[in-house]
Structure 1
């Protein structure tokens, strides 16, 4: 048994029943954490499993997602977030699968009357998120290391191939006129329409019934756009909507007052509270 496998067995045996591997400046991690936060912080009836979920930091700045144990035993794509459930033999590595698992634990996040629209819109947004998944040159650097194990090398080669396919997909989309900017504008216009139709003055997209998983996605994405200097893409009414929700304790519980992008002035990432 490899060192990575032994480490993973130790983690799974001694670790919490539910563990979410996250990086606090990953937009996908923020979306999942905020979805959970809306479920367990009092806005909705908190499900027992989610209330006992633990978090583990994966420091992307140090390429911890490319370590042997993570690629072999947690997520072969080297991405976050990833959810491990002690009763399940395999980690949950697909971001949308994690989102929908959370919604299964707290059905109010995905109300039946709006389910089709919410699913369509968050799928649309996750396609935009793929633009944030840039290739990591550290993969090629690690492959030049002759001291890595054969299993780690195979895992890195798989990650390398996935990155190649991602670059090709982005290039193909760009050749078809697809861009993150244009798709963001289209997406946010739809959110404005949904709010105009359903919110009736409420803080939430679908009104007084409360927050949904779509709110978690939209607020997190608007916060990211503001943080990277693309606030001009955000319609004024949506900026007010997002900033209102960002004053709530659920958002603070996830972000701890931090922006959605890392800055060295924030200090050592390994010391951050998650």
Structure 2
């Protein structure tokens, strides 16, 4: 029997924390509303370190979810998660939908980049050099504007995240948020937040964040209860399916 064609394509980088969050959330998606809402996902790896494929005109960032039918690309892991949840309601289930969505937003208020590349400003410099090289070529106006926007983001959101002041603020924000999440976990009567029998998208995103912090040697930021929660989730087949025994970072 012929394999069904994909309805969506996810372009991702295997060490992008936001890419991993989307892939792991989809692996734990639960049942679709009905057959018409079932998403058949094809994953395409984009190597943003070796080949700089994400610098192409269509993929200046990952993850990107592409709807095969209408050709509409959707960037940003939070937006992709909300899109998927329309087909898989257990990702953001009622009656906790509002709070789960807000906490996902809050979690992404953490500068993952700031933690991952602390003390490595050369990471931003290398990216800027590569992008500036593209500007010297014969490219479309649309592509040029996209690269210029990316360069601006590198100067603000990326380089700015590595300053001592930004790092201290990021750490304090993170500690306050994980304390709140730890309290929610301790109040839950199940293995997941909000007494859920199945993990929500918040659980999925949070577990990936915990894994990243452990991988970069910043487990000190994560309360012990959340560490145990994350490690238990990482022992499950869904995590193994996505990560294949790999770390969340190549560094």
| TM-score of the two chains, using structure 1 as the length reference | 0.76
Q: CA deviation at 1:242?
A: 0.8
Aligned to 1:174: 165
**Distance in 2 between residues matched to 1:227 and 1:172, nearest whole Å:** 22
**Distance in 2 between residues matched to 1:122 and 1:136, nearest whole Å:** 30
Query: Which of residues 112, 137, 143 is equivalent to 2:132?
Result: 143
User: Per-residue CA shift, 1:14-61, capped at 9, x if unaligned?
Assistant: x8431001111111011111110001xxxx225656552000111011
**Distance in 2 between residues matched to 1:66 and 1:208, nearest whole Å:** 40
Q: CA deviation at 1:174?
A: 3.5
Question: Is 1:185–2:175 an aligned residue pair?
Answer: yes
Query: Which of residues 184, 189, 195 is equivalent to 1:194?
Result: 184
**Distance in 2 between residues matched to 1:50 and 1:203, nearest whole Å:** 26
> Residue 192 of structure 2: SS of its match in structure 1?
coil
Question: Is 1:221–2:209 an aligned residue pair?
Answer: yes
Q: CA deviation at 1:157?
A: 2.2
> Residue 181 of structure 1: SS of its match in structure 2?
helix
Aligned to 1:20: 10
Query: Which of residues 59, 65, 81 is equivalent to 2:54?
Result: 65
Corresponding residue pairs, total: 235
> Residue 60 of structure 1: SS of its match in structure 2?
coil
Query: Which of residues 155, 159, 170 is equivalent to 1:164?
Result: 155
Q: CA deviation at 1:110?
A: 0.8
Structure 1 residues 111 and 142, CA, compared in 2 at 3 Å: closer, same or farther?
A: closer
User: Per-residue CA shift, 1:127-174, capped at 9, x if unaligned?
Assistant: 114545873633334424686223244432232123233257648993
> Residue 74 of structure 2: SS of its match in structure 1?
coil
- Once the two structures are overlaid, the 10-residue window that deviates more, 142-151 or 97-106, is 142-151
Q: CA deviation at 1:226?
A: 0.4
**Distance in 2 between residues matched to 1:235 and 1:144, nearest whole Å:** 43
Question: Is 1:109–2:100 an aligned residue pair?
Answer: no
> Residue 66 of structure 2: SS of its match in structure 1?
strand
Aligned to 2:146: 155
Aligned to 2:120: none
2:135/2:147 contact within 8 Å kept: no
> Residue 112 of structure 1: SS of its match in structure 2?
coil
**Distance in 1 between residues matched to 2:154 and 2:237, nearest whole Å:** 37
Task: Please list every run of 5 or more consecutive structure 1 residues that lacks an aligned counterpart in the other structure.
Answer: 1-14, 264-274
